[in-house]
Amino acid sequence: MNVVETKNLTKFYGNECAVDKINFSIKKGEIFGLLGPNGAGKTTTVSMLSCLIKPTDGDAIICGYSILSKSLDVKKRIGVVPQDIALYPTLTAKENLIFWGQMYGFYGKDLKNRVDKVLEIVSLKDRQNDLIKKYSGGMKRRINIAVGLLASPELLILDEPTVGVDPQSRINILETLKNLNSNGLTILYTSHYMEEVEFLCKTIAIMDLGKIIAFGSLNELRILVGEKDKIIFSTINDIKEDIKYKISKIQEVDKINIFEKSLEVLTLQGRKILPEVTKILWDEGIRVKSVEIKEPDLETLFLSLTGKTLRE
Amino acid sequence: MKKVFLIGLKDLKIRSRDFNAFIMILLMPLILIFVLGLVFQPLYSSKPFIIETAVVNLDNDYISDILIDDVLKSEELSKFINLVFLNDENELKDSIEKGKYAAGIVINENFTKNIVSGKEDKILILADPEQTTKSGVIKNILDTFVLEVLKRSVALDITSKTLIKENLIKQEDLNTLIYQWSNDIENIKSKIGVKLVNEKGEETRGIVAMDYYAVGIGVMYLLFAANSGTESIFEEKRKGTYQRLSIMPVKENSIFSGKVFGIFLLTLTQFILIILITKVFYRVSWGNSFFGLIIMVISSVLCFSGFSIFLASLMKSESQVGSIGSTISMILGFVGGSMWPIFTFPKWLNTISKFTPNRWAIDGFFKLIFENGSVKDIIPHSSILILMTIIFYSIGLTIFRLKEKRGV
C-alpha cells in the first residue's frame, strides 16, 4: 500500500520551474530519501506534499487523500519537520509542544500524554521546562522533530532535519528516526547529505533542477553507477580549471570535478589511469598530498549523472 | 474559534516575556506621561497663575477701594490673584526682595482726592525680577484700571464744568454729586456687566496635565503596541512558525484571525495596565463612568489594532513595520493631540486631526475625564472609532489576502 503517490507534481514560480512533473510513490513503513543539492526542488516538493503551497499542476495522494481537494484530511495524517527550527524561542519546550499539540486539536490529558511521549522519544524530558532559546542547536532540532510526532502521524516528512547540528546530535536524530521506522512509521526524508540517505533510506529519489534524475533502492542506484571508481586527489596547491581539458583526453576518464585543492575523477579503470593523471598534475606543478580510490556511492552516482557534486 | 484564542494567547505570552517590548510599550509611555505631566502642569492647571500680590493702601478712599474691591478682588481675578495687605512700603520692599510676592502695589495717600481734583498721582508697582510675567499681569490690570479712571475723570470734569456753567448745579454740591454719579455708574455697570460662565457647567473638572498625557500618550502608544504585535506576523513568517501553523490542521483564516486577536489582546492589556498604573501611582482620574471607560478602551484598542493591520498590509518586513510604523505613530500622536492640547490647535490643524483615530479616542476619554461624561456622551466618539476599525480591517485584510494569493 502506498502512503504517498505523486502524479506529475509541478510547481512554477513565475516562469521558473522549481519542480517539473515528478512522479514517485512511498510504500507504507518505508523510509524514502529525497536526495539532491541545494536548489534541486526538494523543499518545494515537501512544501507541496505538506499542503503549504499548491502545485501549479499535478496532484499527490497522501494516505488516500488528495493534497488539492482534501488538504485538511492530509494535514491530520502527516507530521512535518521543516528545515527551519520553527519553534518559539521564548517559550519552554513543553509550552511549545502544548501549543503545537493544541493546533493539531489535542487538549487535556490526551495532549499531556502525547507531549510526554514525544519528549521521551527525543530524550529531552528532563529539559522540558527550559526555554528553547537556551537549547543547543541539536536539542532544538530534536524538539522540532518532536512537534512533527505529536499527532502520531502515518507519514513523517522531514526536510533537511540535521542542518547545522553537531555529529553526535546528528547520530542521535538518525537513530531516533530508525527506531520510529522500526515501529511502522513511514518517513519521507530530504537531505543533501549522501551518507544520511544511505544510512536511513530503503528507497531513494535523486533530484536535480526540479526533476527526479534517478529513483530506486540503494542497490539499484549503485548498479546505475556500474563499477565506476571515484579517484580523489588531495593537493597542496590550488588546481586550475584548465587542467580538466588535459585529463579528459585520457580515454577511460568519465567525469572530472575540480575543487580548490582536490580533484575527483570518475572512471571504470581507476588503477590504470592513476599514473597518467598523477603525471599530468606533476607536469602542471601541482603537488599531490594524498590519493584515494572510492567505491561507487550516491555521491559518485550524482557526479556521474549531473557532472557536479551534491554540495555544489 | 478555540484555536484563534489559543494563537492570540500564545502571542500575548511571548510578548509578555519580551523585555524590549515591555520597555517599548509599557515603560516608555509611563515615563513620558510622568515627565510631560509634571513639566506641563502649570499650562493645564485650573489655577495656572497664582499671583501672590501685596498691597499697601495709604489712600483708603473710593477710587482705591474700587481698585481693590471691584477689580483685584473681583470674581474672575481673585481666581489667580492672592491679595495680602501690608502697612508700609518698606515692609513691602523687604517681602518682594525675599520673593514672597510677585508684585507689590503702593497706593499713595490722597490718591483719590488728587485724581478727582485733577492733580498728578501714580500707583507704584514693585516687581520681583524673577517673576516678571506675573508682575507684568498686575501692571496690565492696573494700566487698564488707570486708563478707565482717567476716562471717567475727564468725562466728569467736562460734565461738571458744563453743568456749573449752565447753572444746573452748584460748585459746592459738586463733591457730593461726584460720589453719587460714581455709585450710579457702578450700579449700571453691575446690571450690564459681563460674567464669565464656564460653558461646561460648574461641575466640570479643570484640565490636569497628568490626566491629559495619560490619555494622550496612552492613546499614542496603542499604535506602538499594536505595531509590536503586527511585527510578529512578519517575524513568524521569517522564522517559519507561521508556515508550520499553515501545515497544521488549522484553517488559514483562523491563523490570521488568531494573530489579529493576539494584537488586540496585547494592545488591550497594555492600555488596561496604563490606566491602572496611572490611576494608582499618578492619581489620574479616568472619569466616573465605568462602562463609558470600557467602551472607549475597547473601541480605541480595536481601532488601533485595525490601523496596525492596515499599515502592515502595506509593508514587506517586520523592520518596516518597526521603523515606518513608529514614525506614523508619532505623526498621528502630534496631529491627533497626544503631545499638546487640542484646544491650542489652529483651525486647519484642528480639522486635519479629526481624520486621525487619536483625536476621536482622546476626545472621548476627555469627555469622561474632564466633563464627567457618561456612556451617552461618548457614543459619537466610539462609533467613529468602530467605523474606522471596519474600514482599516477591511482594507488591511483585502491587501493581505491579495498578497497571499500572489505569494508575496
**How far apart are the CA of A275 and the nearest CA of chain B, in angstroms?**
52
Local confidence band at B286 (pLDDT 50, 70, 90 cut-offs)? confident
The CATH architecture one would assign to domain A227-295 is 2-Layer Sandwich (3.30)
- DSSP 8-state symbol, B109: T
Highest mean pLDDT out of A250-254, B40-44, B303-307: B303-307
In Å, how far are A105, B183, B216 from B68, measured between CA atoms? 82, 16, 41
Domain ranges of chain A: 2-222, 227-295
* Mean pLDDT of the region B342-366: 86
Local confidence band at B44 (pLDDT 50, 70, 90 cut-offs)? low
pLDDT at B197: 39
Under an 8 Å CB criterion, which residues of B touch A? 3, 6-7, 10, 13-14, 17-18, 239-241, 243-251, 407
- DSSP 8-state symbol, A164: T
**How far apart are the CA of A238 and the nearest CA of chain B, in angstroms?**
39
Residues of A in Cβ contact (< 8 Å) with B251? 72
Interface probe, candidates A62, A103, A133, chain B, greatest B C-beta count within 10 A = A103
Tell me if chain B has a CB within 8 Å of the CB of A80. yes
Assess contact for B270 and A103: CB atoms under 8 A.
no
Residue of B nearest to A86 (CA): B241
Assess contact for A207 and A41: CB atoms under 8 A.
yes
Assess contact for A97 and A135: CB atoms under 8 A.
no
Residues of A in Cβ contact (< 8 Å) with B248? 75, 100, 103-104
- Compare CB distances from B249 to A82, A85, A105 and report the shortest one's residue: A105
**How many CB atoms are closer than 10 A to CB A158?**
25
Look at A88 and B18 and tell me if their CB atoms are within 8 Å.
Answer: no
In Å, how far are B158, B182, B374 from B175, measured between CA atoms? 14, 11, 59
Residues of A in Cβ contact (< 8 Å) with B228? none
Q: Is the pLDDT of residue A29 over 80?
A: yes
Residue of B nearest to A52 (CA): B247
Look at B10 and A88 and tell me if their CB atoms are within 8 Å.
Answer: yes
Task: Tell which wins on pLDDT, A199 or A113.
Answer: A113
Residues of A in Cβ contact (< 8 Å) with B404? none
Q: Is the pLDDT of residue B385 over 90?
A: yes
Residues of A in Cβ contact (< 8 Å) with B14? 88, 90-91
- Nearest CA to B84 out of B100, B65, B99, B98 is that of B100
Look at A80 and B247 and tell me if their CB atoms are within 8 Å.
Answer: yes
Assess contact for A67 and A56: CB atoms under 8 A.
no
Assess contact for A146 and A154: CB atoms under 8 A.
no
The CATH architecture one would assign to domain A2-222 is 3-Layer(aba) Sandwich (3.40)
- In angstroms, rounded to a whole number, what is the distance separating the alpha carbons of residues B274 and B285? 12
Q: Is the pLDDT of residue B379 over 60?
A: yes
Look at A100 and B248 and tell me if their CB atoms are within 8 Å.
Answer: yes
Task: Tell which wins on pLDDT, A220 or B259.
Answer: B259
- DSSP 8-state symbol, B207: P
pLDDT at B48: 52
Local confidence band at B227 (pLDDT 50, 70, 90 cut-offs)? confident
In Å, how far are A146, A148, B33 from A81, measured between CA atoms? 9, 5, 47
pLDDT at A1: 79
- Compare CB distances from A75 to B14, B249, B407 and report the shortest one's residue: B249
Highest mean pLDDT out of A96-100, A223-227, A230-234, A304-308: A96-100
Look at B243 and A86 and tell me if their CB atoms are within 8 Å.
Answer: yes
Local confidence band at B196 (pLDDT 50, 70, 90 cut-offs)? very low
The C-alpha cell 486635519 sits at: B352
Q: Which residues pair with A308 in a beta bridge?
A: none
Residue of B nearest to A89 (CA): B14
* Mean pLDDT of the region A108-118: 92
Interface probe, candidates A73, A102, A147, chain B, greatest B C-beta count within 10 A = A102
Q: Is the pLDDT of residue A88 over 90?
A: yes
Query: Cα Rg for chain A, rounded, in angstroms?
Result: 22
- Compare CB distances from A90 to B3, B14, B244 and report the shortest one's residue: B14
What b-and-e string marks burial along A169-192, b requiring 16 or more CB atoms within 10 Å of the CB?
bbebbbebbeebbeeebbbbbbbb
Instruction: Give the domains, in start order, of chain B with CATH numbers.
Output: 2-43+207-406 (no CATH), 47-192 (3.40.190)
- Strands of B103-107's sheet, edge to edge? B81-86, B51-57, B103-107, B123-127
The C-alpha cell 567505491 sits at: A295
* The C-alpha cell that represents B290 in the structure block: 465605568
As a 3-state breakdown, chain A gives helix, strand, coil percent values, each rounded to 5, of 40, 30, 30
Tell me if chain B has a CB within 8 Å of the CB of A50. yes
The C-alpha cell 498721582 sits at: B121
- Compare CB distances from B248 to A88, A95, A104 and report the shortest one's residue: A104
Look at B241 and A88 and tell me if their CB atoms are within 8 Å.
Answer: yes
Assess contact for A239 and A258: CB atoms under 8 A.
yes
Determine what percent of chain B is predicted with pLDDT higher than 70.
90
Residues of B in Cβ contact (< 8 Å) with A104? 248-249
Q: Three-class SS of residue A29?
A: coil
Look at B250 and A103 and tell me if their CB atoms are within 8 Å.
Answer: yes
Of A47-61, A81-95, B134-148, the least confident: B134-148
* The C-alpha cell that represents A279 in the structure block: 603525471
Local confidence band at B202 (pLDDT 50, 70, 90 cut-offs)? very low
Element (H, E) at A61: strand A57-62
Look at B248 and A75 and tell me if their CB atoms are within 8 Å.
Answer: yes
Element (H, E) at A156: strand A155-159
Assessment of whether the complete model's pTM goes beyond 0.80? no
pLDDT at B201: 43
- DSSP 8-state symbol, B171: G
Tell me if chain B has a CB within 8 Å of the CB of A102. yes
Render pLDDT for B103-161 as a digit per residue (tens, 0 to 9).
Answer: 889 888 888 888 777 778 888 888 887 666 677 778 878 888 888 777 777 777 788 77
Residue B224 φ/ψ, nearest 5 degrees: -60, -45
- Compare CB distances from B240 to A78, A86, A90 and report the shortest one's residue: A86
- Compare CB distances from B246 to A52, A78, A85 and report the shortest one's residue: A52
* The C-alpha cell that represents B157 in the structure block: 470734569
Task: Tell which wins on pLDDT, A212 or B322.
Answer: A212
Q: Please indicate whether the domains covering A2-222 and A227-295 agree at the CATH topology level.
A: no
As a 3-state breakdown, chain B gives helix, strand, coil percent values, each rounded to 5, of 70, 5, 20
**How far apart are the CA of A87 and the nearest CA of chain B, in angstroms?**
6
What b-and-e string marks burial along B8-21, b requiring 16 or more CB atoms within 10 Å of the CB?
bbbbbbbbeeeeeb
- DSSP 8-state symbol, A83: S
Determine what percent of chain A is predicted with pLDDT higher than 90.
30
Q: Is the pLDDT of residue B172 over 60?
A: yes
Of A11-20, A155-164, A181-190, A295-304, the least confident: A295-304
